[in-house]
Each structure stands twice: as structure tokens, then as C-alpha cells.
Amino acid sequence: MDVPTEFQHQAMGYDRTATMFSPEGTILQVEYAQKTVKLGPSVIGFACSDGVLIIADKRITDKLVVKKSANKIYEIDSHIIASSAGIVSDARVLIERAQVLAQQHRVTYDSPVEIETLIKDISNIKQQFSQYGGARPFGVALMMAGIDRGKPQLFTSDVTGNYFAYYANAIGENDEKIKEMLREKFKEDFTIKKAAKLATDILKEIQKDKFSIDRLEAAYITLKDGKLKRLTGEEIKEILK
């Protein structure tokens, strides 16, 4: 009986540490972390013509949970928001690191930090945890959006420590399906309102009977006033009108 290659490699110990490559040139611990990210609730982000928007599925259905205590979108600074997919506790550590860096930059330079500076620092931390022994990779993808020098920007960092800028992107559950729809329907001149409608339509189409507006959380920052605004559940319908 032939044993599948994947199980052969596990038996040989290639998945026991993040510092060892398999014969195929992959790091199995990192691949496992990537699978963890795809199990997380969906997050969709946009860099629109009039600002940035992130819509996230909180996937909280337990009536005993206080919904406001389960935020999926975080404020990094007054001009930056972020969300994650994967292990929430891993994300919290990275989010708090980004918040501290943003405030240190304001104190030191009396100016808001650039978004790419933050995402690069967070990505460097992720990379270190895929290179050194004694720790596992962060099981989280991080999406960060904001207004930088009057320009909307959206970045995503994966578990390996790579990051890219996007016009629109998705992380978490069904991310490939969502990105395929975004490539087909999203345009660079979309406003926050149009992007919000597109995101809800995509989630509705993918989740079908499981879709509920009450599970969603949205946050956006406009170029006009540069202020963070949060919306949950039924409030999201207001920007869709």
C-alpha cells in the first residue's frame, strides 16, 4: 500500500518545526497556518475613490455574547483601521503592536504614521516567527486600510510575512471566490457606498441561507473628513440606500 506523500513527510518530521523545509521546498507549519486563516470569517476591504472601507463577518450567533465586545474591525489610529482572519488571539497581539507603533510615531514625530510603515513592521514580525525555532507562525492574515497623505490605501499581510497594496481584497473563508467576484465587478472609481453594496451582495450570494446583515460589521474613513465611522447590522443598510 502506497502512503500519500503528505503523510510520509509528516512521519519524517518535516511539520514539527517552522524552521525546516520539506523536500518540495515548503514549510509545512506555514501551510497549516494558511489553512487556519481560510477557516476564519470573511473580511472584504476596499480603497475607494472617496475613502476606505472594511466589511467583516463577525460570525457571532450566540445570543449570550454581547455583540459590542466582539469587534472584528479595530482602530489602529484615527486614520487607520484593520481587520483579521484566522486565530483572533494571534491577531490581537499584532493589532496592539500596530497601535503602540502608531502612537509612538505621533509622540516622536508629531505626525500620523504611514500605513505601509505599520504593515511592514507587522509583516517583519510574522516573518521572524516562520524562521526561528521555539515558536509557531502566526495563524492570521491582517488587512489594514486608511488615508495616507490624502490617498486611500489598502494593504494585506499573509502568514508568511508578505504584504501587498490592493484596490480591493478579501481574506478568510471563501476568499478565492470573493476575490474572483471582486476582479469581475469592482472598479477603481467605486465610492464607499457602491463598495459596501458590492460586498454585501457578494456575501449574500456566497453564504446564501446563512447570510444575515446582523452578522456584519463595517468601518470606513472618508477623504472628506478623515474620521472613522462604524456600522453594525441594520446600520449598514443606511449606506446602501
Tell me if 216 sits within 8 A of 203, measured CB to CB: yes
Tell me, what's the pLDDT at 1?
45
Would 209 be classed as within a structural domain? yes
Would 15 be classed as within a structural domain? no
Full domain range(s) for residue 94: 36-240
pLDDT by residue, tens only, the chain of 241 residues: 455 655 555 556 778 877 888 888 888 899 999 999 999 999 999 999 999 999 999 987 778 888 777 889 999 999 999 999 999 999 999 999 999 999 999 999 999 999 999 999 999 999 999 888 778 899 999 999 999 989 999 999 999 999 999 999 999 999 999 999 999 999 999 999 999 999 999 999 999 998 989 889 999 999 998 889 999 878 888 787 7
Return d(Cα 159, Cα 224) in angstroms, integer: 34
Return d(Cα 77, Cα 98) in angstroms, integer: 9
pTM of the complete model: 0.91
CATH of the domain at 174: 3.60.20.10
Would 85 be classed as within a structural domain? yes
Would 94 be classed as within a structural domain? yes
Tell me if 158 sits within 8 A of 166, measured CB to CB: no
Would 157 be classed as within a structural domain? yes
